[in-house]
A and B are shown apart, each in its own frame.
Chain A
Amino acid sequence: MVRFENVGMRYGPGPEVLRDVTFVLEAGSFTFLTGPSGAGKSTLLKLMFLAEPPSRGLVNLFGNDLATTKRSAFAALRRRIGVVFQDFRLLDHLSAFDNVALPLRLAGGKPDDYTQDVEELLGWVGLGDRMHAKPPTLSGGEQQRVAIARAVVARPDLLLADEPTGNVDAEIGQRLIRLFGELNRLGTTVLIATHDRSLIENARAREIRLVDGRLVEMRAGRT
């Protein structure tokens, strides 16, 4: 599903943020990415959701070597990835409903086809009565749930989440993790970057850790 080999990454002439990162995410796996702030977790995620090209090394996504894949094919690869951004990145002028429906719309879906699914998902994350609200009127936790719903609504092949439970209480956090688990059982490969140790311990999943830009295998989990 995802394979990194000796990947290095630096921004401009600065020092390397990632050094010789090598790992594999098997299809259908559930993995936590941990590490202190500034260790390079967000940069690693950016490489995985094709926001940046690596400075060196090999990145293989869905069987495609990105160095030799045509840029015109990237859009289709990106549509197979759901991303929960740490800063949510919701569109403020669209309602919660339209934000969640965006991936389906980008895939060419019609409102009649996806309206029920989107409403059900919003209800599941506890926003059934807030679907017409615009993001600026939602709390941080509500915005985070909208961002998560948007990331999972199209049942992506790969789900990448950057601190997805950082702004919600423990109960909602567990519920969101169950949502990720459910998606994982349906076949989605999940990678969650988090600081939340309780989340990691409860899930008993594989953990990989970034320290000073280098990746360390911490724990093998269930696959």
Chain B
Amino acid sequence: MSAPIRKRGRILPREAGAAPLDVVIGVMAFLAALALGASLVADRAAEGWRAGLSGRLTVQVLPPEHGAPNPALAQETAAALDVLRSTDGVVHADEISQEETLKLVEPWLGSGAVIADLPLPRLIDATLVPGARIDLAALTQRLKQAAPDSVLDDHSHWIARLKGVADAVIWSAYGILALIAIATASAIAFATRAGLEAHHDIVSLLHQMGARAGFIARAFEWHYFISALFAASVGGALAAAFFVAAGGLESVGIEPVPFLPPLSLQPAELGWLIVVPLGSAFIAWATARLSVLAALRRIY
């Protein structure tokens, strides 16, 4: 008597021609992980910009646009400083030095003697008590009285624009993710139909022997679930490697672009990329199941 057989054979044979589908799913997962990573980078950048600019006020004391420099610019700056420092809710106010101002414009205008001669505004940076509500209209009026050439900026317009850009990037990434999900589901549905065609004899026999639709569907859905999980894990891992490599660009001498957030992801953000293989596997599972159940409904 032979040894008892405990392990059951697979209802569906392993498919020899599944490699192209795995490649498609892997590439889709790579692109999906890039889109997801981009949304995380944009979200972090927007948060950084918001945190950096909120709770701050900037006062510019503008030089005349034409003609000779205003000799009273320094007095106006000092008067504006006095107004700010006497305002409730302002913790700290200081003038930004000429050197620091030049550094701020350096990425756009470069450096040198010509830049030093430009009529740059005098800048005052003020820090507010966290959560303080300041009457900006009244403060603007007081500043105008003390320093007629001053302009108050609470950065809200700038923050709103940055948030708008970040939101656009994030929603674009979500849109790309949705398109990739649809494309992946379509590829799986197509592959499932091809699989049903290829295994028609097996499906027909199982159906004839009284297999429940769910039993037959399970044979297909797990096949595509495992296949998609593996392929999408490879694609997701490659995308993660891309983001890690992007974080190391500075170490090889490639400087970051000013104002653009670094493309690298932090370790916690990299963890989010696991959503891609799990999502791909779920899409594969659900698509295969629905495709098989729909096909079985057409059989007597």
Q: From the candidates B6, B210, B212, name the one contacting A112 in the complex (CB within 8 A).
A: B6
Tally of contacts, chain A with chain B, CB under 8 A: 71
Between B2, B6, B205, the greatest number of chain A beta carbons within 10 A of the residue's beta carbon is seen for: B2
Bound Cα distance A76, B206 (Å): 13
A80 nearest CB neighbor, chain B only? B210
Question: B202 touches which one: A53, A91, A103, A111 (CB < 8 A)?
Answer: A91
Contacts A101-B8, A106-B210, A131-B5 given; indicate if A91 touches B205 (C-beta within 8 A). yes
Given A52-B300, A91-B205, A131-B2, are A75 and B212 also a contact pair (CB < 8 Å)? yes
- Nearest-neighbour CB distance to chain A for B135, whole angstroms, equals 71
Q: Is B209 within 8 A of A93, CB to CB?
A: no
Distance (whole angstroms) from the CB of B175 to the closest CB of chain A: 40
* Residues 1-23 of B contacting A (Cβ, < 8 Å): 1-2, 4-10, 13
Q: For chain B, what secondary structure do more than half of its interface residues adopt (helix, strand, loop), or is it mixed?
A: loop
A49-B208, A106-B209 known, 15 other contacts, Cβ within 8 Å: A52-B300, A80-B210, A92-B13, A97-B5, A98-B8, A98-B9, A101-B8, A103-B209, A111-B6, A115-B5, A115-B6, A128-B2, A129-B2, A131-B2, A132-B2
A-side contacts of B300, CB under 8 Å = 50-53, 71
Give residues 242-269 of B contacting A (CB, 8 Å): none
Q: Does any Cβ of B come within 8 Å of A149's Cβ?
A: no
**Within residues 195 to 226 of chain B, which ones have a CB less than 8 A from any CB in chain A?**
201-202, 205-213, 215
Taking CB atoms, residues of chain B closer than 8 Å to A95 are 5, 9
Contact status B201-A106, CB under 8 Å: no
In the bound complex, residues from chain A placing their C-beta under 8 Å from that of B6 are 111-112, 115
**Bound Cα distance A74, B201 (Å):** 19
Interface residues of A (CB under 8 A from B): 49-53, 71, 74-81, 83, 89, 91-95, 97-98, 101-103, 105-106, 111-112, 115-116, 119, 128-129, 131-132
By a CB distance below 8 angstroms, the chain B residues around A128 are: 1-2
CB distance from B18 to the nearest CB of A (A): 15
CB nearest to A115 among chain B residues: B4
Q: State the B residues within 8 Å of A (CB).
A: 1-2, 4-10, 13, 201-202, 205-213, 215, 300
Residues of B within 8 A of A98 (CB): 5, 8-9
A to B CB contacts below 8 Å, 18 in the list:
A51-B300, A75-B210, A75-B211, A78-B207, A78-B209, A80-B210, A89-B201, A93-B13, A95-B9, A102-B206, A105-B8, A106-B215, A111-B6, A111-B8, A115-B5, A119-B4, A131-B5, A132-B5
Residues on A with beta carbons closer than 8 Å to the beta carbon of B213: 75
Docked-complex contact B210 and A79, CB < 8 angstroms: yes
Give the residue of B8, B10, B207 whose beta carbon is less than 8 angstroms from that of A93. B10
- Identity of the chain B residue whose Cβ is nearest the Cβ of A89 in the assembled complex: B205
Residue among B1, B2, B202, B206 making CB contact with A106, cutoff 8 Å:
B206
- Complex Cα gap A202–B35 (Å): 76
Given known contacts A51-B300, A75-B213, A131-B2, A83 and B9 CB-to-CB distance under 8 angstroms:
no
Q: Note all chain A residues with C-beta closer than 8 A to B210.
A: 74-81, 103, 106
Q: Which residues of B contact A93 (CB under 8 A)?
A: 9-10, 13
Residues from chain B with a CB closer than 8 A to the CB of A102 are 206, 209
Name the contact of B7 in the complex, choosing from A92, A103, A111 (C-beta under 8 A): A111
Chain B residues within 8 Å of A132, by CB: 2, 5
Does B209 lie within 8 Å of A79, measured CB to CB?
A: yes
With A79-B210, A93-B10 known as contacts, the answer to whether A111 contacts B1 (CB < 8 A) is no
Among B6, B7, B13, B210, find the residue whose CB has the most chain A CB atoms closer than 10 A. Answer: B210
A79: which B residues are within 8 A, CB to CB?
Answer: 209-210
Closest B residue to A53 using CB positions: B300
Which residues on the B side are within 8 Å of A119 (C-beta)? 1-2, 4
